[in-house]
């Protein structure tokens, strides 16, 4: 499938990955409707940082993914849906799980129900590597068992199952896209890389972190969004789930030490017990397989970890960007 000229809806376009995907699909020549979260400030999230020229090519739709009527309206005349709108912070899911069920499961149901009724050509549902839990084997492929180790991951497993059920029941052209640990400019401070960088660039020399032993498969955001685009082009992946991963891993400790060495070698790591997950909820190892995406698309990883970190650090060094991060508090 050629994406040029396709009328696409991106939910969560105001967020971290969604805003990068919006930029990427603009460059691909797509006709974009960007679904942003309605608020009385008329904020469009990260889309507010786009140039006037970029925004002139985007149709903004403000709504709430939990509202089926708004979703149905947003999907009028849409050919391809990239559904990214979700609540994603794991710690917040411990004390507000209801909101994750409403947003992640019901929101996905609203998307696939509207797609079914409107005959949408292609639907990509965004999952997460967190649905796999701690690796039972590596690299983690799409056949790996799902393990709901947090209310967040449980809600995403539920959303995946809703999407799968619509493929099985109604032959809806769905693919579940499962990025591993995406990082880059604009990522929220609840994630480990922005947490470390923001503390270091604010001159903090005692870098507060939780457990240092887990490993993650870190994927630069530009590789993530190119993966979405390539998956959308693949007819072979309809009815499938598909990882986007680097097929590598690094521990939080090694990652933190690398960032410290690049930004302020005088800094040291301090364990902050408030940042620890409950023991059975911590995912200790994520190391994804990218065999399926490489076999069924033209996707290739273009950025290694150090290249992605360099671009991310450079973005944070812009004072206007750094000011948006509260480095002295724990962002959940």
pLDDT at 94: 96
- pLDDT (tens digit, 9 = 90+) per residue, 16-70? 999 999 999 999 999 999 999 999 999 999 999 999 999 999 999 999 999 999 9
**What is the pLDDT averaged over residues 192-219?**
95
**Other Cβ atoms closer than 10 A to 266:** 7
- pLDDT (tens digit, 9 = 90+) per residue, 236-245? 999 999 999 9
Distance CA 316, CA 5 (A): 34
Q: Does residue 313 belong to any structural domain of this protein? A: no
When pLDDT is cut at 50, 70 and 90, the band that residue 328 belongs to is confident
Q: Does residue 72 belong to any structural domain of this protein? A: yes
Q: Report how many domains make up the chain.
A: 1
Pairing mode of beta strands 174-179, 241-244: parallel
Domain that holds residue 76: 7-184+220-246+288-303
DSSP category for residue 203? T
Q: What burial letters (b/e) apply to 231-254, b meaning 16+ CB within 10 Å? A: bbbbeebeebbbbbbbbbbbbbee
Q: What average pLDDT does the chain have? A: 97
Give CA separation, 159 vs 105, 148, 232, 245, 318, in Å: 5, 12, 19, 20, 37
Distance CA 34, CA 50 (A): 13
Contact 279, 214 (CB under 8 A): no
When pLDDT is cut at 50, 70 and 90, the band that residue 97 belongs to is very high
Q: Does residue 60 belong to any structural domain of this protein? A: yes
Could you tell me the CATH number of the domain that includes residue 30? 3.40.50.720
Task: Give the predicted TM-score (pTM) of the model.
Answer: 0.97
When pLDDT is cut at 50, 70 and 90, the band that residue 330 belongs to is confident
Q: Does residue 297 belong to any structural domain of this protein? A: yes
Q: Does residue 309 belong to any structural domain of this protein? A: no
Q: Does residue 174 belong to any structural domain of this protein? A: yes
Q: Does residue 107 belong to any structural domain of this protein? A: yes
Distance CA 154, CA 140 (A): 18
- pLDDT (tens digit, 9 = 90+) per residue, 215-240? 999 999 999 999 999 999 999 999 99
Distance CA 156, CA 158 (A): 5
């Amino acid at each position: 499938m050629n994406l040029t000229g396709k009328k696409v809806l991106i939910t969560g376009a105001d967020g971290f990955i969604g805003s990068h995907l919006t930029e990427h699909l603009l460059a691909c020549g797509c006709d974009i409707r960007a679904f942003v979260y309605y608020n009385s400030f008329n904020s469009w999230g990260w889309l507010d940082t786009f140039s006037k020229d970029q925004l002139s090519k985007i149709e903004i739709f403000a709504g709430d993914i939990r509202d089926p009527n708004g979703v149905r309206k947003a999907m009028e005349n849409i050919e391809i849906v990239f559904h990214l709108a979700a609540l994603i912070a794991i710690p917040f899911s411990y004390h507000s799980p209801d909101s994750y069920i409403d947003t992640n499961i019901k929101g996905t149901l609203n998307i696939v129900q509207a797609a079914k009724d409107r005959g949408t050509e292609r639907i990509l549902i965004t999952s997460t590597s967190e649905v796999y839990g701690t690796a039972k084997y590596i690299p983690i492929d799409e056949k790996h068992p799902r393990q709901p180790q947090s209310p967040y991951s449980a809600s995403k497993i539920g959303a995946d199952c809703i999407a799968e059920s619509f493929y099985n029941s109604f032959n809806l052209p769905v693919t579940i896209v499962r990025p591993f640990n995406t990082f880059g400019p604009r990522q929220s401070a609840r994630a480990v890389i922005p947490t470390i960088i923001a503390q270091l660039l604010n001159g903090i020399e005692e870098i507060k972190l939780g457990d240092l032993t887990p490993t993650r498969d870190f994927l630069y955001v530009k590789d993530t969004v190119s993966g979405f685009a390539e998956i959308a082009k693949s007819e072979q992946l309809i009815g499938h789930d598909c990882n986007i991963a680097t097929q590598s891993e690094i521990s939080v400790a090694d990652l933190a030490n690398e960032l410290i060495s690049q930004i302020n070698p005088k800094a040291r790591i301090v364990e902050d017990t408030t940042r620890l997950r409950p023991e059975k909820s911590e995912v200790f190892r994520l190391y994804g397989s990218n065999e399926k995406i490489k076999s069924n698309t033209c996707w290739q990883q273009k950025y290694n970890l150090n290249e992605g970190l360099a671009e991310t650090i450079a973005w944070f060094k812009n004072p206007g960007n750094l000011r948006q991060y509260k480095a002295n508090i724990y962002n959940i």
